[in-house]
A and B are shown apart, each in its own frame.
Chain A
Amino acid sequence: MEKVTFTIDGRQVSVAKGTTVLQAAIEHGIQIPYYCYHPGLGVDGSCRVCLVKIEKMPKLQVSCSVVATEGMVVDTRSPEVVEARAGVFEFLLINHPLDCPVCDKGGECPLQDFSYAFGRKESRMEFPRRTFDGEGVRADVDFGPTLMLNRNRCIMCTRCARFMRDVAGDEQIGIIDRGYGSEIATFREEGVHSVLSGNLMDVCPVGAITTRDYRFKSRPWDNPNAVDTICTGCEKGCNITVWIKAKPEWAKGSQLARITPRYNADVNQYWMCDIGRFGYHWVEGAERLSAPLVRKADGALEATTWDAALKALADRLGRADWGGVRFALSAHASHEEMFALGRLAMALVGDAAQSSIGVGWNVSAKPQAGATRFTVPDVDAPNVGGARAFGLVEGERPTPTVASLRAEVEAGRVKALYVLDPGPAGAIGDLSWAVAARKDGRLPLLIAQGPVATDVTRAADIVLPGCAWVEKDASYANMQGRLQAASQGILPPGDARDDWRILADVAAALGVPLGYDSAHEVRQAIAATLGSEPAVAGIAALEFRRPAPAATWLQASNPMERLKWDFLFQDVLPLKFENTRDPGHRAGEKT
């Protein structure tokens, strides 16, 4: 790649040709504030806070729009720049309500932080602030099903309008009025209706757009831990960060504070959909299973211990019935789980193991504009790619096969149906036929493994509580066939166990141990068996993250943002920039 070398603040930096001065500064940890620029939305040039001095140019330049050239000399700290930048911050704050204590963005707000670092120490504005819908949180108004809008806080960077136009391909947000009266708006206050709406909160550099899901739920400093993982809501496999709440109150409430996208150039860029972002509440919902259940003689399901449940399973599933066991497998299962289930099936069914497993998932079309640059796939499961790699489904665009078990079950030829669905309720697709067959006795035994109570677990004889995706380390292959690691962020509730281990425990209870002591060993076995398959290549070396202290808020939303936060919080000068100001330079102000 062709490089250019130039100087910022006396430092030599070398960047790819075509890089702007601002991008180069961000990459090298040099402090230049910005609002309208966003790496995923491009350059707009309207906020004017990224002013720098460039040698041989008469005026100050906005660094977002100047492409670095060989030998360029850039200064971000000269008195002229400091003064001009502080002036722009003064403009930004003359109408911004300082209601940070009741703003969800407070604490992780670029306007707060950049103003702290680069702004004036006081404002010369003495007139009342412009208000649109009243003062304080009264101004938080309806902005569609997922969002709230506070127009008082808006600084008109237009990132939201540009996101909807350029990424979502659906120009639902416009600017109303002009000049001083400009405001962000949707047509006749209809609000934003988009499966990508949550990204508008991410791109908003102030608290103008916030999500209803996160509203007043937590302060950023109450989410000290975050884990970089992936979303398993569909076959896209967006890279995400799961934010974990850690105030003492969390013991009473949920630990998952929110989910934000994490940059991956090849998968999801800077974005994720609302289904993944807001659809995580089932993980800590009322329907979670926290103990194994066994159906008693009176027909009621009763919580019990793992030993008792596994013993009951071994008792109910006589060796003579093994050949008649069938498996319904959700495509929410990870590689490890699919592989372990395959091994269990081979131990029970023998050579016919492959045909004893039916794989299920849901397919749903998402309402999106044709021009969108971020397509949410129809397949609502993360690991159809894995099922294909393991030979459980076939073809370029496989279709669910779980219904192929139906005829056998309804004919009463199946001795036991083992359902493994680690996804949210119903993620495996329609199993009402199995429930009905169990109820009328055509299916003698129904074993259900999964994290939540569903119609299937309610009809089952034995229920084995598993983990949600965020409670275990597991690997998946997305629609591109890319192997990705989902890391554990929180502990599973009660006695719930990692799903591959449940399968291993079941095998052991039946007297056919799989021989794995850890998920890593399962992955090693996968590598040994299927190492050349692209969807699993490198699986033994896969690295999993651990919840890490988010010393830098928004640490993981994307690397560019992360850099910004890194340098801001580690390197704020205690004296701000006052010390670089020439007192005589402050035009128009008496001191």
Chain B
Amino acid sequence: MSFHPQMPYGTPQWHRSERVLADEGPPFAFTPENRQKLEEIASHYPPERRVSAVLPALYLVQEQQTHLTGNAMAHVAEVIGCSRAHVEDVASYYVMFFTKPVGKYVLQVCRTLACALNGAEHVTAELCRQLGVAPGGTDAAGEFTVMEMECLGACDRAPVVMVNNEHWHECQSPEAIQALIRDLREKGVAALTGCHHTKE
């Protein structure tokens, strides 16, 4: 790799950064369906602006394998036609991209003022207590991850819990947590109340 003969790369005297990297992960490629979905989304933008589709591409990775890995980001860069550093840059900026493994259900509790005024602190505390994790952590079984999120935009239904970036559970209370965990285990995301009036 080095073009400087007097500067060999990777010699032990230069230590590596302690930055926590996304794991490299298994080899990654989009499934044909996801690749097709991505091409459909990319067609919404001018052809020379394909990089606009980098966020949708990262979402598709998460649909395919729950979190972003080094190989997945490299694949996105290749498919989108931008540098790998750019993909990592973007992926690290947005909070809804997970660069480390998460549980099957990511419970994202709003912590901002309107939810906090309605007891969000209790909801988080109770979730953490029952699952035996700290905020940001994943339980031993790899089933649940508890995250604190900033304002989710449903303050009239405070406190709000979002699950896996897309399913909503509203008007939570500490007392309802046990049932929430049980229902998720038994019925999956179908157990959630949904947001506003989408449930008809």
Contacts and interface: CB of A to CB of B under 8 A. Distances in A.
Contact of A174 (B6, B16, B89): B89
Given A133-B18, A142-B17, A177-B93, A212 B86 contact: no
**Chain B CB within 10 Å, residue with most, of A149, A188, A195, A275:** A188
Interface stretch (B26-34, B41-49, B77-85, B127-135): B77-85
A387 interface: no
A176 B19 contact: yes
A488 interface: no
B89 to A, nearest CB: 3
Interface in A341-395: 367
A171 interface: yes
A258 interface: no
A195 B7 CA distance: 13
A144 B9 contact: yes
B17 A176 contact: no
Nearest to B93: A178
Interface string B1-38: 11110111110001111110110100000000000000
A200 interface: no
Interface residues of A, number: 38
B73 interface: yes
A132 B18 CA distance: 7
Given A171-B86, A177-B93, A178-B92, A146 B16 contact: no
A171 B82 CA distance: 8
**Chain B CB within 10 Å, residue with most, of A148, A172, A187:** A187
Contacts of B174: none
A145 B3 CA distance: 8
Interface in B79-119: 82-89, 92-93
A163 to B, nearest CB: 13
Nearest to A213: B7
A146 B10 CA distance: 11
A294 B74 CA distance: 59
Contacts of A189: 16-17, 19, 21
Contact of B84 (A148, A177, A187, A193): A187
B88 A174 contact: yes
A138 B16 CA distance: 10
Contacts of B6: 278, 281
Nearest to A142: B14
Contacts, number: 94
B4 A278 contact: yes
B85 A173 contact: yes
A185 interface: yes
Given A146-B4, A171-B85, A151 B17 contact: yes
Contacts of B24: 188
B3 A367 contact: yes
B7 A145 contact: yes
Contacts of A186: 85
A336 interface: no
A239 B14 CA distance: 31
Interface in A121-151: 132-134, 138, 141-142, 144-146, 148-149, 151
A517 B24 CA distance: 67
Interface in A198-227: 212-213
Nearest to B23: A188
B137 interface: no
Contacts of B87: 187
A135 B22 CA distance: 24
Contacts of A187: 73-74, 83-85, 87-88
Contacts of A573: none
A424 B113 CA distance: 68
Contacts of A134: 18
B14 A141 contact: yes
B7 A188 contact: no
A178 B82 CA distance: 20
Given A145-B3, A145-B9, A274-B4, A185 B88 contact: yes
A170 B77 CA distance: 13
A275 B4 CA distance: 8
Nearest to A171: B83
A142 B73 CA distance: 22
A149 to B, nearest CB: 7
A466 interface: no
Nearest to A193: B1
B70 interface: yes
A495 interface: no
B4 A185 contact: no
A191 interface: yes
Interface string A238-253: 0000000000000000
B166 to A, nearest CB: 22
A405 B85 CA distance: 50
Given A174-B86, A212-B14, A213-B7, 15 more contacts: A132-B18, A134-B18, A145-B1, A145-B4, A145-B8, A172-B83, A172-B85, A174-B89, A175-B89, A178-B92, A189-B19, A195-B3, A274-B3, A274-B4, A281-B6
Interface of A: 132-134, 138, 141-142, 144-146, 148-149, 151, 170-178, 183, 185-189, 191, 193, 195, 212-213, 274-275, 278-279, 281, 367
Interface of B: 1-4, 6-10, 14-19, 21-22, 24, 70, 73-74, 82-89, 92-93
15 contacts: A141-B14, A141-B17, A142-B10, A142-B17, A145-B7, A171-B85, A174-B85, A175-B93, A176-B19, A185-B88, A187-B85, A188-B88, A189-B19, A275-B3, A278-B7
